[in-house]
Structure 1
Amino acid sequence: MVDRVLLHLGLPKTATSYLQTIVWSNREALARAGVTVPGSERRDHLWSSRTIREDPHQRHKPPRQRSAWDRVRAELAAAPGTGLVSHEFLAAASQEQAARAVASLAPAEVHLVVTAREPLGLFTASWQESLKNGSTTPMADYGRTESADPRATWDWRTLDLRLVLQRWAPSVPPERVHVLVLDPGADRDDVWRRFAGLLGVDPDVCDLSGSFANASMGVAEAETLRRVNGRLEGFSRAFDKGVYLRSFLADERLATRGGERFWPEEDQVADCVRRGEESVAYLRQQGFDVSGRLEDLLVPADRDVRRRPASVSDAEVAEVAVALVAWMLHDVRELRSELAGLRREDAPGRVPAPPAPAASPVGARRLRRGLGALRRRLRRG
């Protein structure tokens, strides 16, 4: 059994994807340094979080998903050193679920790791993330609740640092609760270096070249995506959301336009200010291991003036949509040309031509994987 397990709980939109990309792309290097990242793929930690949170939909999933948490624990039981389980949806677990998860990892010493940032930027980023997952909720209506349901992953249940810690922290001694406060002025790799310190490894054992930060959309672009989501049918699968909504449409086509940054409504801003103050006051009373400045968890008083999504006009949405149509026509033509070339390559007696260079941005990894699967089907068929 590993000597200790680090459970990285989130919060969502606090460099979690960035850290997880580093971890999963450097599993062998981490293993050589004494850190086990259990599971055969990144989704095993997502599926484990669903089991921990007792998501009733999990019982209807394929056996591989249902057994993920058992397989993760079995791998940790068979390994030495340190183990790491990381998924931001763990933040939604109830206090009872958290306690059971920690107990199920005995006799390993469990540590909790929570990455955190000031609530206003977090709230704004989380609304964008909800759009990338197909939501149609206007920002003015977003985050108005603190859900009692552990399946709720996109409201204050997972976004409020104090609420998450109050559910998880009773399961371990306070010195085993580690809060990594994001430094808004630091280099991007700062959070990785501090995270690696908790793992007990030299941060330079990992190659960071494949890591990337999630892209943000401008206000008109975000509102356009929200309206597009309302017209989509048949895009409810996780693959469709990840490949087409998130990577292709949001990250590659909308975020790359730039656009104006934005804030939520005034009362939502005030709510963010309150939650930041309450989290800082709570942390000052606990014996947690805090890395970073508590002041960085407060909403800045001198924040800049920004628009609100409700102010976006139909004309602005139309301008973004027209640009999208023009861009996507080029995409369709390029894809048809590529598929035609693949069919010619498969013709009897034809010498295959070298593959054409990718014309899409770096964020197209998932789309290219999908195209790779399509090419294999064409060659078989």
Structure 2
Amino acid sequence: MAERVFVHLGLPKTATTYLQTILWASRPLLREQGVLLPGEERRDHLWASRVVREDPNLAGAPARHRTAWSRLTQELAGWPGTGLVSHEFFAAASAEQAQRMIADLAPAEVHLVVTAREPLGLFTASWQESLKNRHTTPIEEYALEVSPSPNAIWNWRTLDLRLVLQRWAPSLPASQVHVLPLDTRAPREEIWHRFGALLGLDTEAFDLSGSFPNESMGVVEAEVLRRVNAHLGDFQRAFDRGVYIRTFLADERLVPRRGERFWPPQERIEEQRRRGREWVDFVRAEGYDVRGDLANLLVPDELEPRREPSSVTDAEVADVAVSLVAQMLGDVRDLRTRVADEVSPSRRGWWRWRSRSGGR
């Protein structure tokens, strides 16, 4: 088994996509520097998290999904240096599942890595992420409770730093539990350098140009997506949600509109202020290894004025929706033109005629 294995749990919406993009694009360099990122593709770590969390839907999944965790551990068993497993959905595991995963990695010295973020920004970003996963819950009603299920991601089960650490950390020395508070005011490369330094990497040697931020929608755009989701009842598969709702609709068409930023209602803001103070007190009391400033987990006392999602009017929704229909009509035209150009020359004229005639 690897000498040490770092298990990066997330939390969700704490630069995990950014860090994982760098890591998966740099696997040969990671190996040169003594760090193994096991698996053939990034989704192997997602599927491994589902195995660890005993996702009941795995029963009908392909064997590649069901064997993901055993494949990762087999690779780690043959590696003499440092190993890394990274996916934010591990954060949802129960205490029993977490301890089994740590035991599966024996005799390696297991280290937990938790990237964290002040809870107001985390709350707002995770609500948007839930919309990109076809949810329709208004922000006022979002994450009111902690789910008992290790397969529920978008609630405080995975978002609350204290709850996640209470399930994952009890069997490990505090020195092997690393908390990296995200500084949202710093350049985004800063979290990479702290994360990589923890792994013992020469972080300056890595190409960061292929990484990207996971950006947010504006307040009207988020409300448009929330309402559209109510009409997408047959978009149940993860593939449909990822390709069509998240990527095609949200990330590629709504996010680029650069709409107005927003806050949740005042009572939810105060809830996150309390939560941030609890997190800081807990991490200090437990004596975990903190790489960064715990003050970055506190919600500021003063916030700039922003709208609430409940203030969005039907007229604003209609305006964005009309623009979206026009844009998507252009998308369909461009797609059909590309298809026509890809067919054989003898059929190209027929294809274009059929497109113009409506397929008659």
- Band the TM-score falls in, shorter-chain normalisation: over 0.9
Kindly provide the CA deviation profile for residues 187-237 of structure 1, in whole angstroms up to 9, marking residues without a partner as x. 110000111011111012321111001111000000000101111142222
Letter in 2 for 1:201: L
Letter in 2 for 1:174: A
Q: How does 1:155-304 map to 2 (within 5 A)?
A: 155-304=155-304
Identity %: 62
- Classify the secondary structure of the residue corresponding to 1:187: coil
Kindly provide the CA deviation profile for residues 266-312 of structure 1, in whole angstroms up to 9, marking residues without a partner as x. 22111111110100110111121101111110011111121111111
Q: How does 1:40-55 map to 2 (within 5 A)?
A: 40-55=40-55
Letter in 1 for 2:248: F
Q: How does 1:340-355 map to 2 (within 5 A)?
A: 340-344=340-344, 347=346
Q: How does 1:10-49 map to 2 (within 5 A)?
A: 10-49=10-49
Residues 30 and 206 in structure 1, CA contact (< 8 A), matched pair in contact too: no
- Classify the secondary structure of the residue corresponding to 1:195: helix
Map of 1:99 onto structure 2: 99
Residues 98 and 171 in structure 1, CA contact (< 8 A), matched pair in contact too: no
Letter in 2 for 1:150: P
- Classify the secondary structure of the residue corresponding to 1:170: coil
- Classify the secondary structure of the residue corresponding to 2:170: helix
Q: How many residues align?
A: 348
Map of 1:372 onto structure 2: none
Map of 1:3 onto structure 2: 3
Map of 1:150 onto structure 2: 150
- For residues 171 and 16 of structure 2, the distance between their equivalents in structure 1, rounded to whole angstroms, comes to 22
Letter in 1 for 2:180: L
Kindly provide the CA deviation profile for residues 246-277 of structure 1, in whole angstroms up to 9, marking residues without a partner as x. 11111111111111111112221111111101
Residues 30 and 205 in structure 1, CA contact (< 8 A), matched pair in contact too: no
- For residues 283 and 73 of structure 1, the distance between their equivalents in structure 2, rounded to whole angstroms, comes to 30
After TM superposition, which residue ranges in structure 1, 4 or more long, deviate above 2 angstroms?
none
Shift of 1:60: 2.2
Kindly provide the CA deviation profile for residues 297-341 of structure 1, in whole angstroms up to 9, marking residues without a partner as x. 001111112111111111010000001011111111111100000
1:125 aligns with 2:125: yes
Letter in 2 for 1:129: E
Letter in 2 for 1:197: A
- For residues 308 and 171 of structure 1, the distance between their equivalents in structure 2, rounded to whole angstroms, comes to 42
- For residues 273 and 157 of structure 1, the distance between their equivalents in structure 2, rounded to whole angstroms, comes to 18
Letter in 2 for 1:77: A
Q: Please, which runs of 5 or more residues in structure 1 have no aligned partner?
A: 351-381
Letter in 2 for 1:25: A
Q: TM-score, normalised by structure 2?
A: 0.94
Q: Does 174-183 or 57-66 show the bigger shift?
A: 57-66
Q: How does 1:351-370 map to 2 (within 5 A)?
A: none
Q: TM-score, normalised by structure 1?
A: 0.89
Letter in 2 for 1:147: S
- For residues 226 and 269 of structure 2, the distance between their equivalents in structure 1, rounded to whole angstroms, comes to 21
